[in-house]
Amino acid sequence: MILKHFLLPTQTIFRTHQPILPARRFANWMASLATAELCDSNPSLLAKGELRVLQPVFRHYGHCRSFSGPVVTLKVFEDNVLVRELLESPGDGRVLVIDGGGSMRCALVGGNLGQLAQNMGWAGILLNGCIRDVDEINACDVGVRALGSHPLKSNKKGLGERHVPVNVGGTVIQDGEWLYADSDGILISKSELSV
**Model confidence over 105-119: pLDDT tens digits?**
999 999 999 999 999
8 known member of a binding site = no
What does pLDDT average to in each consecutive run of 10 residues of the chain (195 residues)?
33 32 43 79 96 97 95 98 98 98 98 98 98 98 98 97 94 97 96 85
Is 91 marked as a binding-site residue? Answer: no
**111 annotated as a binding-site residue:** yes
Which of the four CATH numbers 3.30.1130.10, 3.40.50.300, 3.50.30.40, 3.20.20.450 does domain 24-189 have?
3.50.30.40
CB neighbour list of residue 84: distance below 8 Å, 6 or more residues apart: 113, 116
* Domain ranges across the chain: 24-189
The pTM of this model reads: 0.84
Q: Which of 146, 158, 149, 156 is nearest to 97 (CA)?
A: 146
184 annotated ligand binder: no
Question: Any known ligand binding at 113?
Answer: yes
Q: pLDDT tens, 44-62?
A: 999 999 999 999 999 999 9
* 138 annotated to bind ligand: no
Instruction: Check residue 34 and give its pLDDT.
Output: 77
Contact of 159 with 134, CB cutoff 8 Å: no
